Amino acid sequence: MAHRDEHEPVYMISIAARLCEIHPQTLRLYERMGLIKPQRVGSKNRMYSDADIERVRQIQRLTHELGVNLAGVEVILSLLEQMENMRRQMDEEMDNLRAEMEETIHRAKGQS
């Protein structure tokens, strides 16, 4: 069975709110604050992906379990995104270095 892309928009706002056990207005507030970015179908209908649902749950954990206010959530999420981007860049650099080392070893073996 093929798995769906976690960023594929599949849930209307009422379903997303139910999955997260929050009011649709809360989702709209999170969107206005830039904490989530659901895709739009037409000019009005918001569609949420599994990744959006997980992000809302992350916001809920920060606010309810850790007592972080929404401004703090915004900072934390931004820092987490920056860290993830840096991790990806570091992984790419490591892959490039490995490839260079393998090429150097291959050339050295060819010369001996």
Distance (Å, whole) CA 53 – CA 45: 16
CATH at 31: 1.10.1660.10
pLDDT tens figures, 61-104: 999 999 999 999 999 999 999 999 999 999 999 999 999 999 99
Does 34 fall in a domain?
A: yes
The structure tokens 């150097």 sit at 104
Q: Is residue 87 part of a domain?
A: yes
Residue pLDDT, tens place only, 23-59: 999 999 999 999 999 999 887 889 999 999 999 999 9
Structure tokens at 15: 């379903």
**Domains contained in the chain, number:** 1
Backbone phi and psi for residue 45, each to the nearest 5 degrees, phi listed first: -75, 120
Q: Is residue 3 part of a domain?
A: no
What local confidence, expressed as pLDDT, does residue 112 receive?
Answer: 66
pLDDT, residue 109, reads 87
pLDDT of residue 110: 82
Sign of CA dihedral 32, 36, 37, 41: negative
Tell me whether residue 67 is in a domain: yes
The residue segments making up the domain with residue 18 are 11-111
Identify the pLDDT of residue 2: 61
